[in-house]
Amino acid sequence: MLRRVCRLCRTLLETVERHPGGDFAVIMAALAQTSASADHIEAFLAADPRGEGSLRDRIAADMTNDLLGAFGRTARQSPAEVKRIRERGNWTTMGQRPRE
CA distance 60 to 71: 17
Q: Which residue ranges of the chain lie beneath pLDDT 50?
A: 1-2
- Contact yes or no for 8/40 (Cβ under 8 A): yes
Confidence (pLDDT) at 35: 87
Q: Report CA Rg, the chain.
A: 15
Confidence (pLDDT) at 67: 85
Confidence (pLDDT) at 99: 67
